[in-house]
Chains A and B, each alone.
Chain A
Amino acid sequence: MSAPLLCVHDLTVAVQDGAGPRVLLDRISLDLGAGDVLGLVGESGSGKSLLCRALIRLLPSPKLRITGGAVFLEGRDLVTADEREMLKVRGGEIGMIFQNPTSHLDPVMRVGDQIAEGIRYHQGLSQRAARAAAVEILAQVGFADPNRQYNGYPHEFSGGMRQRAMIGVALSSNPKILIADEPTTALDVTIQAQILRLLLDIRDRRGLTVILISHDLGVVAQTCDRIAVMRNGELVEQGDKRSLLAAPQHPYTKALIESHPSMPGEGVATAAIAQPAPALRPLLEIDDLHVRFPSGAGLFAAGPKTISAVKGVSLRIMPGETVGIVGESGSGKSTLARAILGLAPLSSGHISFDGADLGQNRAKALQKLRSEAAMVFQDPFNALNPRLTIGEMVAEVLRVHGKAVADIPARIGELLDLVGLEREFADRKPRSMSGGQCQRAGIARALAVEPRMIIADECVAALDVTIQAQIIDLFRALTARMSLTLLFIAHDLAIVRNLCERVVVMYRGEIVEEGRCADVFARPQHAYTASLIRAIPDIDPDKPLRADLLSPSVAETGSGRVSDQPSAAFNW
C-alpha cells in the first residue's frame, strides 16, 4: 500500500438530543491507500452509512455532530475545512453511490442532464461539451445507446440501469474516491453481479479508490481487498480480506461469517423429517394458470394491450411441503402468490385449494383460503397498521374468524410465544419495534387463523443477514411443529436452499425448472437456473463472481427499458 489517500483518525460522531450526547460513531480509525477497495460490513444501525456521510460532512440530521477526530484527504483535514472547500470535495474528490437509485435520482430531470450537471459545475464545461462528456460517461457505465438514452427519465429505466445511471452521476465530477452505499442490495442477483463487475471495471479504468458498504459478506468477499467490520458504531475488526475471512478475531465477525447463506446450512436435514407421508391429494393444485393484466389501454388506444405476468404455470403442492419459488423481479412469482390467494385475476387455468376451485366456485374457495391460508409480506413495517398495537392487530384477525372474545388474550399470548416475541409486545406499536420484531409480529398475525398454508413473499428481503437467519429458523421450527405448508418466495437462492425441500424456478412468467432443492442446486438443468446460481456472491473469495453474458435480463443492456412491468408510472 502506498501512502494513504484517505486517513481517518479517531472519528467520533455524537447525537445531541434531550438526554445529552450519545455517541454513534466511536473513534473510528482507518487508512485507505490509492486504488484500494475497502469493504465496510455490518448490520443496519452499525454506523457504516453514517461513517461515509461523516467523511463528506453530510450528516443526515442537524442534531448529529462530529465531536472528535480527523479525516485527512491528501493531507487536508476535512473535519475542519470550510464549507466552500467541502463543496469541491463532495463529488469532486469523493463521489457517492446510494442504495436506492430510484429515490436518489431526480425523477423530473433527464438522466443525461443529471450527469451533465456535475460536469458543468465541477469542471466548468460549456453546455455542449458537458453533454458530450455525459454521453461518454453513459457509454462507460453500460448504456447501449447513450445519445438517445441521455434524454430518458429515471422511471423509464429498470432498477439495474438506474443504478448504472447513479454510478454515472457519481463519476460526473471525476472523483478520486467512490463510496458505494449498498449499491446492489435492491437488485436481483444477476443484476447485482453485473453492477459489481461494472464497479470494479471502472475502478481499474479510472484508478479509483472505492469504499463499498454492504451487509452481504459475499459481495464484499468478491470485490474488495480489505474488509472492515462495524458494529454499534465501532470498528470491531479490519484487515486483509483473506486473513479476515479465514481467521476472524472478533466474535461478531465470526457470527456474520456463519450466518452467511452461501455456507451450507442444515436445511437438508429437515427435508428428511418433513417428508410427508404419501399424501392422498395435493393441498394446492395449479393447472395451466395464466394471469394477464391490461396495460396502457386508453380510451382511444389501438386495441387492448395486455401483459402476461404468469404464463401457463402448473404446480402441485402436497400438505406439509416447503416449496421455494425463486426468480428475479418481474418473473411473475409474486403475481403467482397473489393469484393463489385470489388477489389477482385468473385469466385462464385452474387453482384449487384443498379441493375448492378458485375459478369455478370463487366464493367458497375464497372463504376456505381466507381461513386456511395466510400471507406474510415483504415489508414488515408497511404491512402492519401503525396505529394498532400488535395485540389489537392479532385480536382483529381472531375476532373476524369468530374466536370467542374471552379466549382472545390467551391466544395472543400463545401466538407471541410461538414466534418468539415477549408477551409484552402485545401492547407495542410497530413504530417502537425493529424490522425483525415486526416481521415476527406479521408471522404471528398470519398464524392467528391457524392456517394450513403460509405464503411468504420476499419476507426476509428487507432484513439484515443475522435477522434473516433468525426468521428462517423460525419458519423452519414452525413448519416442523405445526405441519404447515410453506410457499416461500424469494429472489435469494441461498436462503431458499437453506429452508426449502423443493424449489421452483420462474423466469418471465413460466416455470423453467423444479425439483428437490439439493438436486436443482447441484445439477441445474436450465441455463437460467445455472446463471442464477453462479451469480450468488460466494463468501469464498476464490470462487469468482460470474456475471454471465447470457444474462436473463437481455433488456438490461439492450433498450434500457425492462420488458416486465411498467415501472413507477402513475396511472391517473
Chain B
Amino acid sequence: MHRYRFVLYRPLQFLPVLLGISIITFVLVRLIPGDPARVLLGSRATPAAIANIRAQYGLDEPLWVQYFYFIGNLGQGEMGKSILYKIDVLRLIATRLEPTLALVLSSVAQSILIAVPLAALAARHRTRLPDHAVRIVSTLGIGFPPFWLALMLIILFSVRLGIFPVSGYGGSLTDKLYHLALPSLTVALSLSAVLTRSLRAAMVQALESDVATAARARGMPESIVFWRHVLPNSLVPTVNLLAVNIGWLIGGTVVVESVFALPGLGQLLVRAIFSRDYMVVQGVAMVFACATVLVNFLADIITVALDPRVKL
C-alpha cells in the first residue's frame, strides 16, 4: 500500500500553494480601483463617514498589516465580516455553497454519463458515421460558449416546451433538482464535449495497441477486449483532464449561475466584486482555490488506483 503513502504527506504541500493564492487574491482585490466604503455609503457620503467605515473594517491600516489580520483570522477559521451583507463571510459562504456544489457535482456526473458512451461509440466505429457524428457534435460543444448554450436551452425547454423553470432555485430536494436540470445540463454539454474528445482519442489508441491485439489473439471477443482492456487503459488521461476542467468549472459557475439566477458562490462573487467587498472576494477565492486543490488531489488518488505503474 506504500503507493498511497502520498495521501498522508501531500496535504502538507497544499499549505504553500494556498498561502501563495491568499497573497495573490489579497493583492489583486485591492488593485481594483474603487473603495468599499464609498460603494457602501453612496456618492453623497461625507469624508468623515467614509473614514469611519474604513476604520471599522481595518481598511485604514497599511496593506501588510491587513494581510496579517486576514491570515491570522484564517488560521482561526475566520474570514472577517462582509462589508455589504454585514455578516460573517464564512457563514455567508456556507449559505451559498449548496447550489454551487450541487451544480458542479450534477454536471460532472452528467458529463461522464454522456462522454463515456459517446467516446466508446465513436472509437469502436472509427472513421464511420457514428464517429463522424460524435466528433462534429463534440467540436460544436467546445465551440459554443456556455452562456449561449444556456440561453438556447432556456428558449427550448422553458419558453417553448415549458418543461423546466427559467431560473431560480427550489426549496425541497426535488424542487432543487428540477431547478438545477438546465444549468447543470448547460455545463455538462460543454464539459462532456472536451471529455469525449480526449477519451475517444485514448480509446482509439488503446484499440490499436498491442494489448488489444494480444487479447484478440487469445480469442477474446471484442466486447471483452473493449471493456476489460481498452477502457481501463484509456481512463487515466481523461481523469486528469476532468480534474483540470473541474477547476475551471468551479470558476465558470459564475456565468451559469448568473444566467439562471442560481443563488450560489459564483453569483456571490460577482456581486462582491462589484461592491468591492474585499472580505467576501477573498473568502470565495480561497474556497475556490481549496476546492481546485482538493479535486486535483482526488484525481491523483484515482490515477494511482487506476494505473499500478504510477508512483506519486
Contact = CB atoms under 8 A, between A and B. Distances in A.
Interface stretch (B27-35, B57-65, B144-152, B303-311): B303-311
Contacts of A173: 218-219
A300 B9 CA distance: 8
B216 to A, nearest CB: 6
A433 interface: no
Interface stretch (A6-14, A32-40, A86-94, A533-541): A86-94
Contacts of A570: 309-311
A161 to B, nearest CB: 16
Contacts of B311: 296, 569-572
B100 interface: no
A557 B59 CA distance: 72
A107 B307 contact: yes
Given A91-B219, A300-B9, A569-B311, A103 B210 contact: yes
A475 interface: no
Of B5, B213, B309, B310, most buried by chain A (CB within 10 Å of CB) is B309
Contact of B219 (A121, A153, A300): A121
A104 B308 contact: no
Interface of B: 5-6, 9, 12, 209-211, 213-221, 224, 228-229, 232-233, 306-312
Contact of A106 (B9, B211, B217, B310): B211
B224 A121 contact: yes
A167 to B, nearest CB: 12
B276 to A, nearest CB: 41
Given A109-B229, A300-B9, A121 B211 contact: no
A90 B308 contact: no
Given A107-B307, A122-B219, 11 more contacts: A87-B221, A90-B218, A95-B217, A96-B218, A98-B214, A106-B215, A109-B229, A117-B224, A569-B311, A570-B311, A571-B311
Nearest to B233: A108
B5 A87 contact: no
Interface string A56-98: 1010100000000000000000000000001111111001101
B218 A298 contact: no
A172 interface: yes
A62 to B, nearest CB: 10
A563 interface: no
B218 A58 contact: no
Nearest to A179: B217
Given A98-B210, A568-B309, A298 B5 contact: yes
Of B6, B219, B307, most buried by chain A (CB within 10 Å of CB) is B219
Contacts of A105: 211, 214
12 contacts: A58-B217, A95-B218, A100-B210, A104-B214, A109-B229, A118-B219, A122-B219, A172-B218, A173-B219, A298-B9, A570-B310, A572-B310
B219 A87 contact: yes
Interface string A546-572: 000000000000000000000011111
B219 A89 contact: yes
A572 B300 CA distance: 10
Contacts of A172: 218
A95 B213 CA distance: 12
Given A90-B219, A95-B218, A572-B312, A108 B210 contact: no
A104 B218 contact: no
Contacts of A109: 228-229, 232
A279 interface: no
Interface string A435-451: 00000000000000000
Given A108-B306, A155-B309, A572-B310, A169 B211 contact: no
Interface residues of A, number: 41
Interchain residue pairs A-B with the least CB separation, the first 5: A91-B219, A91-B218, A90-B219, A103-B210, A104-B214
Given A58-B213, A155-B308, A155-B309, A108 B218 contact: no
B228 A117 contact: yes
Nearest to A300: B9
Contact of B218 (A169, A296, A568, A569): A169
Contacts of B310: 569-570, 572
A58 B307 contact: no
B217 A108 contact: no
A170 interface: yes
A342 B51 CA distance: 66
B309 A88 contact: no
A151 to B, nearest CB: 10
A56 B218 CA distance: 10
A106 B228 CA distance: 10
A108 B308 contact: yes
B214 A107 contact: no
Contacts of A247: none
Contacts of B217: 56, 58, 90-91, 95-96, 98
Nearest to A96: B217
Of B215, B217, B307, B309, most buried by chain A (CB within 10 Å of CB) is B217
A569 B309 contact: yes
A172 B214 CA distance: 13
B128 to A, nearest CB: 11
B233 A104 contact: no
A296 B307 CA distance: 18
Contact of B220 (A96, A121, A298): A121
A277 interface: no
Of A106, A122, A169, most buried by chain B (CB within 10 Å of CB) is A106
B297 to A, nearest CB: 13
A96 B255 CA distance: 56
A98 B210 CA distance: 9
Nearest to B300: A572
A103 to B, nearest CB: 4
Contacts of B213: 58, 60, 98, 104
A308 B289 CA distance: 42
Contacts of A300: 5, 9
A299 interface: yes
A108 B312 CA distance: 16
A122 B219 CA distance: 8
A58 B216 contact: yes
A90 B215 CA distance: 10
A91 B309 CA distance: 27
A103 B228 contact: no
Contact of B232 (A96, A108, A153, A170): A108
A117 B216 CA distance: 12
Of B218, B219, B220, most buried by chain A (CB within 10 Å of CB) is B218
A298 B306 CA distance: 21
A100 B217 CA distance: 14
B308 A153 contact: yes
